[in-house]
Amino acid sequence: MTAHAHTSATDHVLAEVRNQIGHLTLNRPAGLNALTLDMVRSLRQHLDQWAEDPQVRAVVLRGEGPKGFCAGGDIRSLHDSYKNGDNLHEDFFVEEYALDLCIHHYRKPVLVLMDGFTLGGGMGLAQGCDLRVVTERSRLGMPEVGIGYFPDVGGSYFLPRIPGELGIYLGVTGSQIQAADALYCGLADWYVSSDALSALDQGLDKLAFGDHPLKDLQSLLAKLGTQVLDDAPLQKLRPIIDHFFALPDLPAIIEQLRAVSIGDSHQWALATADQLESRSPLAMAVTLEMLRRGRHLALEACFAMELHLDRQWFQYGDIVEGVRALIIDKDKQPRWNPPTLAGLERRRVDQFFEGL
């Protein structure tokens, strides 16, 4: 068995081929492996190289450290670039989405370990993979509305394709979920407990590939994990979420959450209404519209729509203020524009989608 390791200039992506498997490790554990443009480029370079290499039969993607696979894009650097009049924020999204799309269409099986935090850009990498593995430490989510942004990286494709209105709920509230819900929603395929991850690695190093590498990997996962977990909280909440999040707009959703009691879910409904009222009204309204459009669009069209929104968002959206309040000054008092849904004109939401 030959192993040749290669590290990128920044060492923020570690790459190695062992036993005909290309291993890619996001290596910024102090930043929860958040993606920089260099990391995006390094990942793409290795994937392109391995796509053509007959010695590589499959790819495994993971994050360094127990806390997270990837907590998203390095949003602070994008904010700073915009403030300085540079265009990193434009280049970053173009290349990040192209990388995500490359993973969705990759011709060799890709297994991703979504151990720990897998948020935003981390979900963008993971959702195109063939075998998405969660552990008891997994926390999955698209929390963008909390910083005045919208769930991108293909979120307009994979969120509305979750059963019922669960994906709309996850995108508009920015809520995080754990392993059982990830399997229930179809955002993960396998559950493996974290103490079995070393056995998974040993299994990968010993795996004898036949004609169908995907099946070989599935057989290994079947020995170590399961595809269903009991007690998924969203399974119980599903009828309620399907009712509220199919309502025509956000004011209606919040009003009904406060007013209507369904079963014993009223505390949950009130907490959800409070959560929505802390988010950027503009970001939530654009997210709702984007997800409902994305439900009927092909994958490429979803990425194109997200890029179209991105090109306007730093100037006309709420992200610069959101990053200031939550990441830079940390006063947690974002001054959204407008501050409430009542002050949001429908025209302002529609303008973002013009010229698509």
* 3-state SS assignment for residue 179: helix
What residues contact 224, with CB distance under 8 A and at least 6 apart?
Answer: 192, 196, 199, 200, 203
Backbone angles phi, psi at 99, to 5 degrees: -65, -45
What residues contact 7, with CB distance under 8 A and at least 6 apart?
Answer: 13, 14, 15
Q: Select which of 22, 63, 73, 124 is catalytic.
A: 73
Any domain includes 60: yes
Question: Any idea what the CATH number is for the domain that residue 135 is in?
Answer: 3.90.226.10
Predicted confidence at residue 8, as pLDDT, reads: 45
Q: Is 355 a catalytic residue?
A: no
Predicted confidence at residue 228, as pLDDT, reads: 94
| Token code pair at residue 188 | 């993960």
Any domain includes 98: yes
Predicted confidence at residue 90, as pLDDT, reads: 87
Sign for the CA dihedral angle at 356, 76, 16, 118 comes to: negative
Any domain includes 192: yes
Predicted confidence at residue 132, as pLDDT, reads: 98
R_g of the chain, CA atoms, integer Å: 20
| Torsion (CA) 130, 13, 117, 279 in degrees, nearest 10 | -100
Backbone angles phi, psi at 128, to 5 degrees: -90, -5
Predicted confidence at residue 10, as pLDDT, reads: 59
Q: Is 144 a catalytic residue?
A: yes
Number of C-beta neighbours around residue 321 at 10 A:
16
The predicted model scores a pTM of 0.95
Any domain includes 316: no
Please compute, for residue 337, the number of CA atoms within 13 A of its CA located in the half-sphere on the CB side: 11
- Residue 334 to residue 356: CA distance in whole angstroms: 30
- Residue 220 to residue 215: CA distance in whole angstroms: 9
* 3-state SS assignment for residue 97: helix
Task: Find out whether 139 and 147 touch, Cβ atoms under 8 Å.
Answer: no
Q: Select which of 115, 130, 144, 165 is catalytic.
A: 144
Predicted confidence at residue 89, as pLDDT, reads: 87
**Among all chains, which residue has been given the structure tokens 């935090």?**
117
Please list the pLDDT of the chain residue by residue as tens digits (356 residues): 444 555 444 589 999 999 999 999 999 999 999 999 999 999 999 999 999 999 999 999 999 998 999 999 999 999 999 999 998 888 999 999 999 999 999 999 999 999 999 999 999 999 999 999 999 999 999 999 999 999 999 999 999 999 999 999 999 999 999 999 999 999 999 999 999 999 999 999 999 999 999 999 999 999 999 999 999 999 999 999 999 999 999 999 999 999 998 888 999 999 999 999 999 999 999 999 999 999 999 999 999 999 999 999 999 999 999 999 999 999 999 999 999 999 999 999 999 999 99
Q: Is 73 a catalytic residue?
A: yes
Domain that holds residue 30: 4-141+175-224
Q: Is 122 a catalytic residue?
A: no
Any domain includes 263: no
Any domain includes 151: no
Predicted confidence at residue 257, as pLDDT, reads: 97
Fill in the DSSP letter of residue 1: -
Count of structural domains, the chain = 1
Q: Select which of 121, 124, 146, 317 is catalytic.
A: 121
Any domain includes 218: yes
Predicted confidence at residue 234, as pLDDT, reads: 97
Any domain includes 19: yes
Q: Select which of 96, 100, 115, 152 is catalytic.
A: 152
